[in-house]
Homo-oligomer: A and B are copies of this chain.
Amino acid sequence: MGQLEDMKVFIRVVEAGGINRAADQLSLAKSAVSRRLVNLETRLGVRLLNRTTRTSSLTEEGQSYYERVIKVVDDIAEINTLTADSNTSLEGTINLAAPLSFGLCHLSNAIDAFMKQHPELTINIDFSDRKVDLVEEGLDLAFRIANLKDSSLIARKISDIKHILCASPDYLKEHGTPKTPSDLKNHRLLHYNLSGTSIWKFIDNKGKQHSINVSAKIIANNGDYLKDMAVAGHGIVFSPTFISWKAIAAGDLVPILSDYKLPQLKAYAVYPQTRYLSQRTRVLIDFLVERFGDNPCWDQNIIY
């Protein structure tokens, strides 16, 4: 008994690339996963996975079984959400990944509010700036701050992410306030090295683009740290407003080059390309879009 559950376990094993990892992702003992697989294989009378002690690979039958089964499981998920009463409180687990700074600053509050609306839900968050593979890690949802062009993933915009150039008043008093992007060459710059580029781009009020190659004094993979360094007077930081807004509101940081436009990014909720999103995930995304939207709290009441 439990055909469907066996199928789901099998799918997870295939996508996680092994029984151990699948067991982790499913929060199951590996013995249980192993047994479900054996059950499935004996019921079908077919070997689905060739497993050595080190690697698991699909057999030919396993491959075609996987392709068929994934569709059906998807169909059932669809049927469930279609006929499930949307008024009942959600339950189950949402596994998600979020970037460190954005996650801790803003997502955590939002999810706290969401959990109060749906106390039966379990949320499992992986805060990290590394690139996560949704399918392989069995996640329902991840947040990306980017200009998405890819991919096999489906994305929904959660919010605009603005950037701003700023420094502490002390620093500006000592080193002067730059008036043009090229002035930055004579300043101490603080750079976020996960942005994928070491070039800062500006567009002036005539629409002309200016670029400078950043040779930074402090380089880090954490925007909060860079912001703190800027507050401490270590130089000029190119910072997303969701990180620096409080320091700016408090006067600890002063925006500079405000007449220039900086490239905008967007925060996305991305999820795997299953045809149908589970209801709980969809409701969470709706909640976040509603909460952040085009005018998120950190960009309100502030004129940069």
Q: Which residues of A contact B (CB under 8 A)?
A: 1-5, 43-46, 61, 64-65, 68-69, 71-72, 75-76, 79-80, 82-85, 87-88
Q: Which residue of B lies closest to A88 (CB)?
A: B45
20 contacts between A and B (CB under 8 A): A1-B2, A1-B5, A2-B2, A2-B5, A3-B4, A3-B76, A4-B76, A43-B80, A44-B84, A44-B85, A45-B84, A45-B87, A61-B83, A64-B82, A64-B83, A68-B79, A68-B83, A71-B75, A72-B72, A72-B79
Assembly CA distance A5 to B5 (angstroms): 10
Taking the closest CB of chain B, its distance from the CB of A86, in whole angstroms, is: 8
CA distance A79 to B43 in the complex (A): 12
Known: A2-B2, A3-B5, A5-B2. A68 touches B46 (CB 8 A): no
Quick one: given A2-B1, A2-B2, A88-B45, are A79 and B69 in contact (CB under 8 Å)? yes
**Chain B residues whose C-beta falls within 8 Å of the C-beta of A88 in the assembled complex:** 45
| Contacting residues, chain B, for A45 (C-beta < 8 A) | 84-85, 87-88
Interface core residue of A45, A64, A71, A82 (most chain B CB under 10 Å) = A45
CA distance A45 to B81 in the complex (A): 11
B residues less than 8 Å from A2 (CB atoms): 1-2, 4-5
Q: Is the pair B46, A84 in contact by a Cβ cutoff of 8 Å?
A: yes
Contact check: which of B46, B71, B82, B84 meets A83 at CB < 8 Å? B46
Mostly, the A contact residues are helix
Q: How far is the CA of A84 from the CA of B87 in the complex (A)?
A: 41
Nearest CB in chain B: distance from A85 CB, A: 4
Contacts of A80 in B (CB 8 A): 43-44
Query: Given known contacts A45-B88, A87-B45, is B76 in contact with A72 (CB within 8 Å)?
Result: yes
CB-CB < 8 A to A68: which residues of B? 79, 82-83
Cβ-defined partner of A75 (8 Å) among B65, B72, B83, B87: B72
Q: Which of A43, A83, A85 has the most CB of B within 10 A?
A: A83
Alpha-carbon distance A76/B7, docked complex (angstroms): 10
List B contacts of A71 (CB < 8 A).
Answer: 75
Instruction: Write out the residue numbers on chain B whose beta carbons fall within 8 Å of the beta carbon of A82.
Output: 64, 68
Question: Bound complex: CA of A71 vs CA of B75, how far in Å?
Answer: 10
Chain B residues whose C-beta falls within 8 Å of the C-beta of A79 in the assembled complex: 65, 68-69, 72
Shortest CB–CB separation between residue A118 and chain B, in angstroms? Answer: 13
Q: A64-B83, A71-B75, A72-B76 are in contact. List 18 more A-B contacts (CB 8 A).
A: A1-B5, A2-B2, A2-B4, A2-B5, A3-B4, A44-B80, A44-B84, A45-B84, A45-B85, A45-B87, A45-B88, A46-B85, A65-B79, A65-B83, A68-B79, A72-B72, A72-B75, A72-B79
Rounded to whole angstroms, the CA-CA distance of A86 and B4 in the bound complex is 21
A26 to chain B, nearest CB (A): 13
